[in-house]
Structure 1
Amino acid sequence: MPAALPAPDAGPHDLSIGELAAATGVSRDALRFYEARGLIRARRRGNGYRAYPPEVVELVHYMRTAQQLGFTLAEIGEGMTQVWQQPDTDTAVTALLREKLAAIDARIASLQATRDALATRLGMPCPLATA
């Protein structure tokens, strides 16, 4: 689902920032931050207030879930663009998850190697001497 595109006026079913915050459990400040990063877009009401299309609720839930899975906001922004350009979004999301899992596995292996090196040095007379 693509991010909401800006429109000249808000629609009758659009949500205020407060309503969007309540529907998603995300603070108004976080929503403004997402908007500043280009992750979501608000339309403007006649009074200049933000108005979000209802589908932005699902988009914010997607972003929060992705953050909980370890994706950065930059990765989320890039990933959303990649996903929406694909005819099969489920396959595209699965590919992103596999890539993230591979990166985490590589990081775990690197940390394990570092841990092993530290553990080996604990038994040395001078742990910082060349091994």
Structure 2
Amino acid sequence: MSQLTIGRVAQAAGVGVETVRFYERKGLVDQPRIKAPFREYPPETIDRIRFIKRAQELGFTLAEVDQLLSIADNPGSSKREVKQLAGQKLSEIRQKIDDLKRLADTLDSLYEQCSGHGALEDCPIILSILPVEK
């Protein structure tokens, strides 16, 4: 196989070169071997970056991704640890969904109250955003 330079790794993983460097700085991806004149990455780096990106798509923060990677890298780890992290993330996501539903209900109500014409001074949307005078 040809040398896996940072550009090839980035392209194969579907990210930019700066993303690979960022993951290196964060300790999520190992520093490559220096093999003059290029830094050479092992093939598993591509799958590791794909893992990171997929975990982020599922809502995990980089700190949580780091935990997942630590679990995945440790043969003594258990599914219980992964399930616990996933359960915490699922609770956070459900809470955000509930919060967004409440926001949507509020904005929907204000939207329906607004006639869409006339003076702004009685616009329910604007009035709800303005600070309450004391």
Which TM-score band (shorter chain)? Answer: 0.5 to 0.7
Alignment of 1:8-19 (within 5 A): 15-19=4-8
Aligned to 2:101: 112
Pick the aligned partner of 1:64 from 49, 53, 60. 53
| Bigger share in helix | 2
2:44 pairs with one of 33, 49, 55: 55
Distance 2:18 2:84 in 1: 31
Q: Distance in 1 between matches of 2:28 and 2:35?
A: 23
Percent identical residues? 31
RMSD between superposed Cα atoms in Å: 3.2
The structure with the larger Rg is 2
TM-score, normalised relative to structure 1:
0.67
Distance in 1 between the 2:60 and 2:39 partners?
27
Runs of 4+ in 1 over 6 A off after TM superposition: none
Is the contact between residue 13 and residue 54 of structure 1 (CA under 8 Å) also seen in structure 2? Answer: no
Aligned residues: 119
Counterpart-to-counterpart distance in 1, 2:98 and 2:52: 27
Q: 1:114 to 1:15 in 2, by over 3 A?
A: same
Q: Secondary structure at the match of 2:59?
A: coil
Q: Gaps spanning 5+ residues in structure 2: where? A: 115-121
Q: Unaligned regions of 5+ residues in structure 1, if any?
A: 1-11
- Scaled by the length of structure 2, what TM-score is found? 0.66
After superposition, give the CA deviation of every residue in 1:20-55 in whole Å (9 maximum; x if it has no partner).
123212221211111112111123324363222222
User: SS of 1:87's equivalent?
Assistant: coil
Query: RCO (CA 8 Å, sep 6+): is it higher in 1 or 2?
Result: 1
